[in-house]
Amino acid sequence: MGRTGMSRVERALTDRVEQRWARWVRQAPRAAEGRLAAQAESASRLRHHLSELITTHERRRETPGAAGIARPAGCDWAWRPALWASRLPEPGRAGVSSRQALGEEVTLFHDCPLGEVILRQVPGRADGEGAPHALSMEVFAFEGSFLSLVLELPAEAGQGLGKRHLVRLRLVTEAERPVEVFARLNVRHGPNTEQIVREIPPGSGTAEVEFDLGYSRLNEKLIERLWLDLIFDRPAMNRVLLRDVTLLRHPRAEL
């Protein structure tokens, strides 16, 4: 095993495969239609695997999901969604309709028939502070009654979760003009869903809100799923940049 992390045989095989694809690319303008179609189909399948491998490597190299998150005393879980932690294989969508996902954890919901929404993953701050990536959301004409980003929390968020916990959300945002944002934490437990809503302080910059489960009617033994809604009020003709989104939990102070 050399410095590259691959054996000499693996390196030789990889070089041969790369050379073959380079040759096919050069020959593509003159290739027969059937041969070119078969190569394109093979390339499409290969691209999926390559993108997954690159994403896995960048996620490990750039930052684990919980790296760089300031934790209070007693914090037993912290999380940064993958969209902010590593590059996505498909970094953006235009004309986004409702229920369209960007990555595996973030989905946009709205009821506007125009679909004049653009979602893009963009690089993080040039100085390296904060998350490696950010989410840009541009909304043009908007005739719907709601627009929200839904973040699916990992299963670890619900493991050991109880009424003794506070869940803290930290947002770093920039906007072309002020926009009202509400955060709603949803915890499904059995047939019921506990919902806690907090208003995000207006203006660009860093904002933190806490969801206190001590006042909820949560059945700790039946927790199935958690997700977070970021609800944007009157989003038309605005660009919002979500520079970072993190969640953590820690025990609440005993009264």
**Predicted local distance difference test score (pLDDT) of residue 53:** 79
Mean pLDDT by 10 residues, the chain (255 residues): 68 88 92 91 86 63 60 91 91 87 93 90 80 94 93 96 96 93 97 97 90 94 97 94 96 73
Domain-embedded: residue 83 = yes
**Final residue of a domain: which of 16, 31, 62?**
62
Distances, alpha carbon 214 to alpha carbons 43, 188, 209, 210, in Å = 53, 16, 15, 12
- Kindly state whether residue 68 falls inside one of the protein's structural domains: no
Do residue 103 and residue 55 come from a single domain? no
Residue at 131 is within a domain: yes
Q: Identify whether residues 114 and 199 lie together within a single domain.
A: yes
Are 123 and 159 within one domain? yes
Residues 52 and 81 in one domain: no
The reply to whether 87 and 113 lie within a common domain is yes
Name every residue whose Cβ is closer than 8 Å to that of residue 46 and which is 6 or more positions away in sequence: none
Domain count of the fold of the chain: 2
Judge whether 16 lies within some domain.
Answer: yes
- Domain range holding 47? 8-62
152 with 44, same domain: the answer is no
Are residues 177 and 228 located together in one domain of the fold?
Answer: yes
Task: Output the domain CATH number for residue 232.
Answer: 2.60.120
37 and 106 co-located in one domain: no
Asked if residue 67 belongs to a domain, the reply is: no
Question: Per the domain annotation, does 3 fall within a domain?
Answer: no
Q: Give yes or no: residues 162 and 46 share one domain.
A: no
Q: Which of 89, 96, 93, 101 is closest to 111 using CA atoms? A: 96
70 belongs to a structural domain: no
- Asked if residue 51 and residue 92 are part of one domain, the reply reads no
30 and 117, same domain (yes or no): no
CB 208 within 8 A of CB 128: no
Q: What is the pLDDT of residue 2?
A: 46
pLDDT confidence of residue 3: 42
pLDDT of residue 85: 92
Q: What is the pLDDT of residue 64?
A: 47
Residue 1 domain flag: no
Question: Same domain, yes or no, for 123 and 26?
Answer: no
Per-position DSSP letters for the chain, written without gaps between them:
--TTSS-HHHHHHHHHHHHHHHHHHHHGGGS-HHHHHHHHHHHHHHHHHHHHHHHHHHHHHH--TTTT----TT--EEE--HHHHS--SS-EEESPPTTEEETTTEEEEE--SS--EEEEEEE--TT--S-SEEEEEEE-S--SS-EEEEEEPPGGGGTT--TTEEEEEEEEEEESS--EEEEEEEEEETTEEEEEEEEPPSSSEEEEEEEEGGGS---GGGEEEEEEEEEEES-SSEEEEEEEEEEEEEEPPP-
